[in-house]
A and B are shown apart, each in its own frame.
Chain A
Amino acid sequence: MAVGKEIRVKIASVQNTQKITRAMEMVATSKMRKAQERMRAARPYAARMRNVIAHVAAANAEYRHPFLVSREVKRVGIIVVSTDRGLCGGLNSNLFRMLVQHMKRWQAANVEFEVCTVGRKALQFFQRVGGKVSGQVSKIGDAPHLAQLLGPVKIMIDAYLEGRVDQIFIASNDFVNSMTQKPDLEQLVPLKAEADSELTQHWDYIYEPEAQEVLDQLMVRYVESLAYQRVVENIACEQAARMVAMKSASDNAGKLIKELQLIYNKARQAAITQELAEIVSGAAAV
């Protein structure tokens, strides 16, 4: 029977799409779990680092590191952490929207800005809309390595130390839970180190070899570790958002198939009825 060939083809194609989205959903689910683990694994380092920085801020160091001194803001640097791939709902566009709002505010206050991008999507965004991009890194994969981030972070740190920018921010998504991700802009430099209240006496570290060198290294590592944590968290966000997006795509495909199936059945039934009517009326005529 030649009825509804187009509908059958359409149903088959939607079924294929559904297979793909379902597979992507499952892949994203398992990747999200791994990314969350990685996020957790990165936490102790950042926590320890924060402790040390708090100690340093509380210590009466003979040397004040530039990262601890805030100055008048004329130009800001932003590290924008995005995903490499799409199909993850509104994750990146929400982040960019928040960023554009901040940028507008800065522009109104006559503050210039430059960005370093992590991930292909942020680069593409700034490619289309313009803006000074002083560095980028992409294709960081699912298991990023700290070494991959050194480039963009160092560009910003160098810019800060040279006085080219007066503040460094990092924009990325916060992993609230697997259903919710929140875009967030955090200030990296100058550090907002809270002094440890337990250590109030007059004291300082023994620095080996010298305070300046030791603190320089420490601060750079601190900023890097914060950036790394942000990137890892953003990957968890990406997978979670993709999981949700793909789940709804699979559901929609299912609904579409149901509707098409109904239309197909009706058409088939109508064709049978018509044929019967033709046979009956033909027989009556004879």
Chain B
Amino acid sequence: MSTIHVEIVSAEREIFSGDVEIVFAPARMGEVGILPGHAAMLTPLRPGEVRVQLVGGEQQAFYVSGGMLEVQPKVVTVLSDTAIRAHDLDEAAVMKAKQEAEDALANRSDKLDFTKAQAELAELAAQLQTIQRLRRRGG
């Protein structure tokens, strides 16, 4: 029986890679089963189980909390999310990041002060150079 190559990865690690007979995934519009030779397809995934059937009939299951499924004629890629995604949660993250920046930067102009930035960097560079010189001399 022909096989199809499946790769399941998340942003933080590789989860599964190998040749399988069939792969089932919880697509947005309903569970899909992909056999070798499937047409190219791109679809988001719902949270659920991705199952692969290895050659010989053994099945393995992986939980995904969402993600994307890409089907190419010879390879299926599951890009799994690690974070739980929802519009509200994303908005909350945005609000938090904005708020924190505002809190930290209150009473300050939006204009970058180049002279100040450069003076500061020059000072840091001078410090580093001094340390290096001292080291060379000492060593």
The stretch among A4-12, A69-77, A206-214, A268-276 that forms the contact with chain B is A206-214
Known contacts A44-B7, A56-B42, A150-B90: A221-B105 contact under CB 8 Å: no
A127: interface (CB < 8 Å): yes
A129–B138 CB distance below 8 A:
no
Tally of A-B residue pairs with Cβ under 8 A? 184
B14–A41 CB distance below 8 A:
yes
Q: How big is chain A's contact interface, by range?
A: 35 or more
Provide the bound-state CA to CA distance between A226 and B20, in Å: 29
B42–A218 CB distance below 8 A:
yes
A45–B11 CB distance below 8 A:
yes
B111–A130 CB distance below 8 A:
yes
Give chain B's interface secondary structure class.
mixed
A133: interface (CB < 8 Å): yes
A123–B101 CB distance below 8 A:
yes
Residue in chain B with minimal CB distance to A256: B138
A155–B77 CB distance below 8 A:
no
The stretch among A17-25, A100-108, A162-170 that forms the contact with chain B is A100-108
B121–A93 CB distance below 8 A:
yes
Smallest CB separation, A284 vs chain B (Å): 46
B12: interface (CB < 8 Å): yes
On chain A, the residues within 8 Å of B116 by CB distance are: 128-130
Residue in chain A with minimal CB distance to B27: A208
Query: Contact partner of A206 among B40, B44, B138, CB < 8 A?
Result: B40
A206–B128 CB distance below 8 A:
no
Smallest CB separation, B87 vs chain A (Å): 11
On chain A, the residues within 8 Å of B98 by CB distance are: 134-135, 151, 155
Provide the bound-state CA to CA distance between A45 and B7, in Å: 10
Among B81, B97, B120, residue most surrounded by chain A Cβ atoms (within 10 Å): B97
The stretch among A28-36, A46-54, A172-180, A185-193 that forms the contact with chain B is A46-54
Residue in chain B with minimal CB distance to A46: B11
Known contacts A93-B124, A213-B44: A146-B82 contact under CB 8 Å: yes
- Interface mask (B98-132 → A, CB under 8 Å = 1, otherwise 0): 10110011001111111011101100110010010
On chain A, the residues within 8 Å of B39 by CB distance are: 206
On chain A, the residues within 8 Å of B108 by CB distance are: 127, 130
Provide the bound-state CA to CA distance between A68 and B130, in Å: 47
On chain A, the residues within 8 Å of B81 by CB distance are: 221
Top 4 nearest A-B pairs (CB, nearest first) are A151-B97, A131-B112, A147-B83, A135-B97
